[in-house]
Amino acid sequence: MNTVLSAMAMDYPPEKLHVYLSDDAGAAVTLNGMREAWRFAKWWLPFCKRYGIKCTAPEAYFSAGEDDGDENGGFGGSEFVQEKDHIKEKYEAFKKSVTENARIGDTRSNSRRDHSAVIEVIQETSSDNADAIQANEAKNKPLLIYVSREKRPSQPHHFKAGALNVLLRESAVISNSPYILGLDCDMHCHDASSARQAMCFHLDPKISHSLAFVQFPQKFCNISNNDIYDSQLRSGFKVLWKGYDGLGGPCVSGTGYYIKRVSLCESSISEAGDAMKLRQCFGPSNEFIKSLGQINKPDRMFVQRNNAQPNETQLLASCAYEDGTKWGKEVGFLYGSVVEDYFTGFHLHCKGWISVYCDPKRPQFLGSGTTNLDDFLVQGTRWSSGLVDVAISKFNPLIYGPFKMPTFLHCMCYAELALFPIFYFLSLWGFATIPQLCLLNGIPLYPQVSNTYFIVFSFIFLSSHSKHLYEVLATGSTFRHWVNEQRIWMMKSVTSHLYGSVDAFMKKLGMREASFFPTNKVDDVEQLKRYNMGVFDFQTSRLFLVPMVALVILNMASFVVGIARGIFVGELDKMFIQVFIPFYVIVMNYPIIEGMLIRKDKGSIPLSVTLVSALVSLIFYFFGSIIFM
């Protein structure tokens, strides 16, 4: 509910602000929470407006103890403090009410994948007795709409992209705002002026006609200084996206973007001529088709708020509405990949649209990053699978992009994102196994130290790592973060990128259906404690643990054998690089060794996993020896 409240309190004319919440589970507790949020908003919104509160999420505002009023106009007197305390009491009552509703239970909890559509405009349906909301007060608050689309087991729902397209249709017939902010449920507005900042780009006459969306970076409020899981996604938001911004802009990045409504359906509008073609493209809703002609007419946009008929909104949220239409293919957010943001952004750029990356000093949005290994690897697997879905389809950026995108460099940016899971898992598995197996069998792969070509291999290794270290330091991070990124890169490459790539190929071959596993949004206290201490938590699936542990065991064995060969046989000069590689792997993955051999807490690696991994390493060595002998 903090996400909803923070969006409602944005510094923007309330008659032009409409907040929609998509509840794919159709949970009654969420709908009740929305109603409670609407009641609390009559206290929270005026407070934010009166004192110029920047962080408009009440939980974050009160937890951090921010006195934004002091920073904006000098509101620091007793009146401000008194009202702040009063609002805090109201917020605590609001939280208590929501919590009590959650404890009562959800009568529809067993039908989260099989339920009818529920569309409710909270402003109209909410009713209080003693605490009635006056009509003039309601006018000063944004529309608040709850949307739960129909879901049936027999109908594909297309995960997040399907939910976004339902929101796109519902918002078109209810409010039809020309610009849309996409915000995930674990994010909140940290600066109330983000909409105005985005409009500076969208209304710029030099780029407005071709600008599809403004992307703000994802930043997180729960990341520790150590950031052992690289949850801040530094490489993407601090390096890559800034580079892409000079080539046509970054892709849609899941959340924190202001997208132009017309960019998601303009080409289909122009291609469709008569009413029959429009229906074939956009579906049978006359109200929605009528709204398409009013997207770029702001003078008519807000004459009537919420004039949609209930039957029309139910139709637009039905699971069969998109059958036989171009939704998800050419219209709206695209299907075909679980990373609908990347896929949709790629198609927008292929159609000639551009995007802008805006990274102001104060974070515009803050959220919760992954703080345990399990969520991190599950998330990485999902992203890898979605990216490889695109890479092995007809929309591969290197095949589809050159004929559509203005510059080949921009095309290469998208290709790098789509292909890196495959390249990383292949290269890391080779890096962690082939030199080691050859070392165990006495087969030299690299030039000996006395050979001139030894300098070439050393230069490649040092230059690549120096470049990465420079990027880390240049973006304000530390040497420790560089070590963490190297470590996590190895862990993800041998697990998430491997499984994600395999998953994509299996879907392509028809061996399994697409799936979407959202990361956990609730923190475990013990896991969070270990995370803040900089200690890895290995409470994750054996599918993730066994490859990591097995490769570490293989590298430990090869390093010991390599040192023994150097001491007793005198082959250190010949095998130096092959001895150094497992040493480097061991050093970078010391937390795994610690979890296997030293730690005994709940977050350590179970003995059974260590034994299974040792057996896997032995089998791997046996078959590897047959190949390399």
The answer on 14 and 87 residing in a single domain is yes
pLDDT tens-digit map of 110-151 = 577 788 889 999 864 444 544 444 445 556 789 999 999 999
Q: Name 354's bridge partners.
A: 211
**Residue at 373 is within a domain:** no
One domain, residues 303 and 160? yes
- 472 assigned to some structural domain: yes
Q: Are residues 572 and 432 in the same domain?
A: yes
- Looking at the fold, whether 448 and 300 belong to one and the same domain comes out as no
Write out pLDDT tens, residues 360-415.
999 999 999 899 999 999 999 999 999 999 999 999 999 998 989 989 999 999 99
Tokens of 33: 């929470």
Q: Give CA–CA dist 434/524, Å, rounded.
A: 39
Residue 608: pLDDT above 90?
Answer: yes
Read off the CATH number of the domain in which 311 is found.
3.90.550
Mean pLDDT of the chain: 87
Question: Cα separation of 232 and 235, whole Å?
Answer: 9
Are 214 and 110 contained in the same domain? Answer: no
Q: Name the token pair of 368.
A: 């919760």
User: Does a structural domain hold residue 390?
Assistant: no
User: Is the pLDDT confidence value at 201 over 90?
Assistant: yes
CB neighbour burial string for 245-257, b if at least 16 within 10 angstroms, e if fewer: bebbbbbbbbbbb
**Lowest model confidence (mean pLDDT) among 2-16, 82-96, 519-533:** 519-533
The CA distance from 44 to 40, in Å, is: 6
Residue 9 lies in a domain: yes
Kindly compute the dihedral angle of the four CA atoms of residues 337, 338, 339, 345, in this order, to the nearest 10 degrees. Answer: 50
Q: Which of 110, 133, 130, 107 is nearest to 29 (CA)?
A: 107
**pLDDT score, position 304:** 47
Tell me, yes or no, whether 225 and 300 share the same domain. Answer: yes
Residues 488 and 551 in one domain: yes
Q: Do 346 and 423 sit in the same domain of this protein? A: no
User: Quick one: which of 183, 211, 196 has its CA closest to 21?
Assistant: 183
Question: Which residue, of 364, 381, 406, is where some domain finishes?
Answer: 364
Active-site positions read 24, 341
Please indicate if the annotation marks 67 as binding a ligand: no
**Within a domain: 23:** yes
For every residue of 289-322, DSSP letters joined together read HHHHTTTT-HHHHTSSSS---HHHHHHHTSTTTT
User: Which residues constitute the domain of residue 297?
Assistant: 150-364
pLDDT band at 518 (very low <50, low <70, confident <90, very high): low
Task: Say if 409 falls within a structural domain.
Answer: yes
Which of 178-182, 525-529, 588-592 is predicted with the least confidence, judged by mean pLDDT?
525-529
* Candidate from 130-134, 442-446, 468-472, 604-608 with smallest mean pLDDT: 130-134
Q: Which of 119, 148, 177 is the last residue of a domain?
A: 148
Q: Binding residue per annotation — 96?
A: no
Amino acid 134: pLDDT:
42
Q: Identify whether residues 106 and 180 lie together within a single domain.
A: no
Query: Distance between CA atoms of 402 and 345, rounded to whole angstroms?
Result: 15
User: Does the residue 344 lie in any domain?
Assistant: yes
Q: What percent of the chain has pLDDT over 90?
A: 62
Residue 260 labelled as part of a binding site: no
Which band of pLDDT confidence, cut at 50, 70 and 90, is reported for residue 522?
low
Please name the residue ranges forming H helices in 177-309. Answer: 194-202, 234, 241-244, 266-271, 275-282, 286-292, 298-301
Helix (H) or strand (E) segment spanning residue 174: helix 159-174
Tell me what pLDDT residue 624 has.
81
Task: DSSP for 91-113, please give it.
Answer: HHHHHHHHHHHHHH--TTGGGTT
Last-in-domain residue among 148, 181, 203: 148
Do 144 and 159 sit in the same domain of this protein?
Answer: no
70: pLDDT strictly greater than 80: no
380 part of a folded domain: no
In tens, the pLDDT along 278-293 reads: 888 898 888 898 888 7
Asked whether residue 454 carries a pLDDT value surpassing 50, the answer given is yes
219-220 and 143-148: which strand pairing?
unpaired
| Confidence category of residue 166, pLDDT binned at 50, 70, 90 | very high
Picking from 318, 306, 579, the residue whose alpha carbon sits closest to that of residue 442 is 579
Please tell me the total count of domains within the chain: 3
Whether residue 36 sits in one domain with residue 77:
yes
